Amino acid sequence: MVSPGRIIWTSDRDFNKDEIRDQRYFLVAEHNDLITKARHDLNARELKIMDYVVSKIKPNDEHFNLIDTSMYELTRVLDLKRNGRTYSQLAQNLEDMRAKSVKIYNPSERRLTLTGWFEVVDIWENGQVKLRINKQFAPFLLKLKDSGHYTQYFLEDTVRLKSKYAILLYKL
């Protein structure tokens, strides 16, 4: 595989038809257990990427769909500079999130779940990105209205925060 740091970004295109400015006001909804009990080591940018991906989930989704986005869209929504270095860093962040372990403890079942954030991440040289959230997160991100124990906020609220600790405190 080509190292994400060595990818030459051949074009800077937006593959999405939605208005990018409006996407900042998409709602992010997560089960409270994912916020309080999940143990992970994501940095601030990776937390923002995850919030962006979660904001793409619709309330009536039954399963995780393939999310089709682009480096262009990620930089615009997350308020980052659009250049090759940033694109390479985003590709590295996505690779890291695919590999990083997440630990979720379920006290009622006395079970520890170890998983990664994404099931699959595809990155093309033209900046197109397709990814899918790992199915282990379904109880924490899908059908949240049924549980009644979830937190909801605008993506814009976490995008403006600079540190991972500020983001984590805001979610709490």
CA-to-CA distance for 133 and 50, rounded, in angstroms? 9
Whichever domain contains 88, its CATH number is 1.10.10.10
Per the prediction, the chain carries an average pLDDT of 84
pLDDT digits (tens, 9 = 90+) for 17-69: 556 667 888 889 998 888 887 888 889 999 999 999 999 998 888 899 999 99
Number of domains in the chain: 1
Instruction: Supply the range of the domain harboring residue 91.
Output: 4-171
pTM of the model: 0.84
pLDDT digits (tens, 9 = 90+) for 92-111: 999 999 988 888 877 788 88
Q: Place 159 in a pLDDT band, splitting at 50, 70 and 90.
A: very high
Check pLDDT > 90 for residue 140.
no
H, E, C per residue of the chain: CCCHHHCCCCCCCCCCCCCHHHHCCCEEEEEHHHHHCCECCCCHHHHHHHHHHHHCCCCCCCCCCCEEEEHHHHHHHCCCCCCHHHHHHHHHHHHHHHHCCEEEEECCCCEEEEECCEEEEEECCCCEEEEEECHHHHHHHCCHHHHCCEEEEEHHHHHCCCCHHHHHHHHC
- 26, 30, 100, 104, 143 from 152: Cα distances, Å: 10, 7, 24, 20, 13
pLDDT digits (tens, 9 = 90+) for 10-28: 555 555 555 666 788 888 9
